[in-house]
Structure 1
Amino acid sequence: MSFSPSPPLPLSPSQIPLTYSPAYTLVPTYECFNRCSYCNFRVEPGGDEWMSLERGKEILTSLRGSGAIELLILSGEVHPNHPRRKTWFERIYDLCELGLSLGFLPHTNVGPLTLEEMARLKTVNVSMGLMLEQVTPTLLDTVHRNAPSKRPELRIQQLEQAGTLKIPFTTGLLLGIGETPQDWRDTLAEIARIQRRWGHIQEVILQPHSIGTQQAEAGTAFEAAQLPQVVALAREILPDEVTIQIPPNLVQTPEILLDCLEAGARDLGGIGPRDEVNPDYPHSHDRTLRKILDPAKWRLQRRLPIYPQFDEWLSPRLRVQVERWRSHLADPIFSI
């Protein structure tokens, strides 16, 4: 496991909080009808045995007391007209329900959903997410030419639907897939527009494309030295209340990671045993991160998958569980 909670220390006025979510990822299925050329996650439809509830319970039961708080439900996308679409959705819902019953806080990211599906998942999730990636349609002729659900208007619709339903939401940009710096601006501006309308976006991930061994086409990795520039641009364009997140396992150079923090990044995302989207890049251990950070300036802190300002949007059942976790955030050791 990647969790090693250390006793909390008083936060000095000179320290800046840098957060992360102790998380575990469950994958109902790796099957996906999209064929993004850079993907290191998917398998062909029909080529994967879907996770059973029994297997999910076995895994989650073994994690109790591990320090994991967030249960990330991450799935390949099943076509809206697939004969097993309903079964797939019910499996996702049931895994969230199972996670709640065992004390975890579910966060689901499984691709575009209908308004009705999102509304139902809201009852068993404290937050949800979907990467916008890039709003430029030019990628539909290149890396997304075989990825129908990567149409920008469809992804934007998902963010809007989450806003109408008052679902705390995470989205983000995928960098280095053929977009331009102007595309970064356009995508960030669209997220900012949606946030100003609905106010439900918790954080924006800036994810550099990193070459993996399973992707269909060779491609090139995002130039890491550019990441602080993108962070600064995001901080300029996004509303102040939106947190900027960078994945430390995809930023291999400590100096660049620190430059990203100086530019305005304040969250390191979910840290757990395995990055399912980038399996060639293990998550950073929190103790490793503490060695990189200047303790006089940065204070690495655990957080929940829902930010405090959104607690009032939860149902009473979910809110009780979230409040319970908040009361334990300062404890030296987590247990559930």
Structure 2
Amino acid sequence: MAFLDRTVTYSPAYTIVPTYECFNRCSYCNFRTDPGKSPWLSLVDAEIQLKALKPAGVIEVLVLSGEVHPQSPQRKIWFQRIYDLCELALSLGFLPHTNAGPLSQTEMAQLRTVNVSMGLMLEQVTPKLLQSVHRHAPSKLPELRLQQLIWAGELQIPFTTGMLLGIGETVAERQETLTAIARIHQRFGHIQEVILQPYSPGKHEVWASSPFKSEDLVDTITLARQVLPTDITLQVPPNLIRDDGYLIACLEAGVRDLGGIGPRDEVNPNYPHPIDSELAATLKAAGWDLIPRLPVYPQYDEWLPSHLQTAVEKFRKSFARMNGLVHPGKRFLLPADP
């Protein structure tokens, strides 16, 4: 099986949420609850969830959390819960990827030992959003999130970042955000993929603006492919693109990944993920092959601590046995079961 230019990847994933509580109040958010308003996920319940996934072919466990304030007395407990959930996922044969908002450099270094990759949405670097959708979101300071990308590079963490589109930014400001990502990646070479996420209204937000237009998404992809280094993969979430024609247009414009696909999109719960087999059939009819991948791209394997390299190598070897061929340096090496 040869690597095809008309290949698009996705990660068979499952999201576990340590807590929906968040001290930010972004006006477009459909995820958060107020602190003290929802129970935290216990390790016992998490183990029950994860053990049920083994027959489903899930590989990536996305640990996605609401944010606890850095000065909160709950911060250490929250961080330890995230760390323990990652350890649990590893012990059960999954590959963790954590996105839990801005972390300290020490916290990032610790999580590096139990995650094959990590992520944080940059969203937009323009400070004017602090007067609108981010008015009550202290951790959405652009400099805070840019620092996170820099620390990830210094720590050699394979990293995913991205932009939220249609929250009040201009085209010029989108280019500014893309340029900031490109500059950091040129220093460290650690950004695996950039997500281009169109704003999509949900039932629980307070903002309720108009959805980001699909034609503007295609234009933004074209811009991103011009600005970003070619070794950064562009990703769009297919559940937020309601028309198959526009999804194909996104691929033609330069998208090569569709992100984690699982039972539920926790960030956009009103927009169910497509069933991967149906998505594959849709893409096949348009001349594209949909292929699963791991949450860490092969070029970053050597950055991982040795025990994580061992876990990843099991998947890559199993995939090679199944297909009879290894594709060195390509990102879609995935087995069904290690």
TM-score normalised over the length of structure 2: 0.94
2:257 alignment partner in structure 1: 267
| Change over 3 Å in CA distance of 1:229–1:91 after alignment to 2 | same
2:327 alignment partner in structure 1: none
1:199-278 → structure 2 map (5 Å cutoff): 199-278=189-268
Instruction: Count how many residue pairs are aligned between Structure 1 and Structure 2.
Output: 326
1:179 alignment partner in structure 2: 169
Q: CA deviation at 1:296?
A: 7.3
1:302 alignment partner in structure 2: 292
Separation (CA, whole Å) in 2 of partners of 1:312 and 1:203: 18
1:142-153 → structure 2 map (5 Å cutoff): 142-153=132-143
Q: CA deviation at 1:139?
A: 0.2
The one of 92, 104, 110 aligned to 2:82: 92
Separation (CA, whole Å) in 2 of partners of 1:19 and 1:234: 18
- The alignment yields a C-alpha RMSD, in angstroms, of 1.3
Deviates most, 323-332 or 205-214:
323-332
Q: CA deviation at 1:23?
A: 0.2
The one of 4, 14, 24 aligned to 1:24: 14
The one of 303, 306, 314 aligned to 2:304: 314
Maintained 8 Å contact 1:34/1:148 = yes
Separation (CA, whole Å) in 2 of partners of 1:196 and 1:82: 35
Q: CA deviation at 1:216?
A: 1.9
Deviates most, 60-69 or 109-118:
60-69
Q: CA deviation at 1:326?
A: 1.2
Secondary structure (helix, strand or coil) at the match of 1:108 reads strand
| Change over 3 Å in CA distance of 1:65–1:281 after alignment to 2 | same
Q: CA deviation at 1:297?
A: 3.1
1:159 alignment partner in structure 2: 149
Secondary structure (helix, strand or coil) at the match of 2:174 reads helix
Maintained 8 Å contact 1:65/1:334 = no
Separation (CA, whole Å) in 2 of partners of 1:295 and 1:169: 32
Q: CA deviation at 1:327?
A: 1.9
| Change over 3 Å in CA distance of 1:279–1:296 after alignment to 2 | closer
Maintained 8 Å contact 2:21/2:35 = yes
| Change over 3 Å in CA distance of 1:78–1:12 after alignment to 2 | closer
Maintained 8 Å contact 2:248/2:286 = no
Maintained 8 Å contact 1:34/1:77 = yes
Q: CA deviation at 1:218?
A: 1.8
Separation (CA, whole Å) in 1 of partners of 2:8 and 2:105: 34
2:337 alignment partner in structure 1: 335
Separation (CA, whole Å) in 1 of partners of 2:184 and 2:233: 15
The one of 65, 69, 78 aligned to 1:75: 65
Choose between structure 1 and 2 for higher RCO, CA contacts under 8 A separated by at least 6 residues.
1
Q: Does 1:56 align with 2:46?
A: yes
Separation (CA, whole Å) in 2 of partners of 1:176 and 1:254: 20
Secondary structure (helix, strand or coil) at the match of 2:35 reads coil
Q: CA deviation at 1:295?
A: 5.2
Separation (CA, whole Å) in 1 of partners of 2:278 and 2:171: 32
TM-score normalised over the length of structure 1: 0.95
Maintained 8 Å contact 1:73/1:110 = yes
1:127-146 → structure 2 map (5 Å cutoff): 127-146=117-136
Q: CA deviation at 1:335?
A: 2.8
Separation (CA, whole Å) in 2 of partners of 1:139 and 1:53: 37
* Alignment-mate amino acid for residue 306 of structure 1: V
Maintained 8 Å contact 2:11/2:259 = yes
Separation (CA, whole Å) in 2 of partners of 1:318 and 1:297: 35
Separation (CA, whole Å) in 1 of partners of 2:199 and 2:207: 13
Cα deviation code 1:267-289 (max 9, x no counterpart): 00000000000000001111221
* Alignment-mate amino acid for residue 220 of structure 2: V
Separation (CA, whole Å) in 2 of partners of 1:297 and 1:221: 28
Cα deviation code 1:94-127 (max 9, x no counterpart): 0000000000000000000000000000000000
Separation (CA, whole Å) in 2 of partners of 1:219 and 1:251: 17
* Alignment-mate amino acid for residue 111 of structure 1: G
